[in-house]
Chains A and B, each alone.
Chain A
């Protein structure tokens, strides 16, 4: 299994441009998440999804959109990039229910480093 993969690894955007950050998991996980991490800070939840066709806002959703048309993919869309969206973006997933003690453990991708100038 590749686990959680994210593309691109790095991106520089100009103010007002748009882009989509891709996230794919091959573990057949129901739950998927998008977090952002600003320098020296912990991660903050942007959006999450409990399954295909179902998404919901997290703590910091403004300026972002998501969709979940398949179990595997959970893209994050930035429509009008702003300098405040300069951050590292992490995608994560977890199964609906695990046997044993690893229940609800989230698995993270390697991140996308985005700079908006």
Chain B
């Protein structure tokens, strides 16, 4: 069964710092990996999606990498801002899932606070 782990569970850094959020998954048989942002009491906003054949994706100050063979992804946030404060979720779309052939498997998230 696919499991997704995110480290750290929480992170607090001063504004302006570059930071890295980590995601690992136990089964490398995935179609893609998606990073989401979740604000308190709100839904999920998709940040980046990396196909299994890709190594990285970039959007503005965000860069996500994928090493499928080692089961790891990182989300790099450059020049962090207080508005980046949120919970960041990592999810994979497994190729083989006993619980549902097409859903995403999520990590528990990293709660990020950027101090002004």
Contacts and interface: CB of A to CB of B under 8 A. Distances in A.
B34 interface: yes
A56 B101 contact: yes
B107 interface: yes
Contact of B103 (A59, A103, A108, A113): A59
B99 interface: yes
Contacts of A60: 99
A107 B41 CA distance: 17
Interface string B41-62: 1111110010100100100000
B99 A59 contact: yes
Contacts of A45: 99-100, 103-104
A48 B102 contact: yes
Which of B34, B93, B99 gathers most chain A CB within 10 Å? B99
Nearest to B54: A101
A104 B32 contact: yes
Contacts of A58: 99-100, 103
Interchain residue pairs A-B with the least CB separation, the first 3: A42-B106, A59-B99, A45-B103
8 contacts: A43-B104, A45-B103, A58-B100, A104-B93, A105-B34, A108-B36, A108-B43, A109-B43
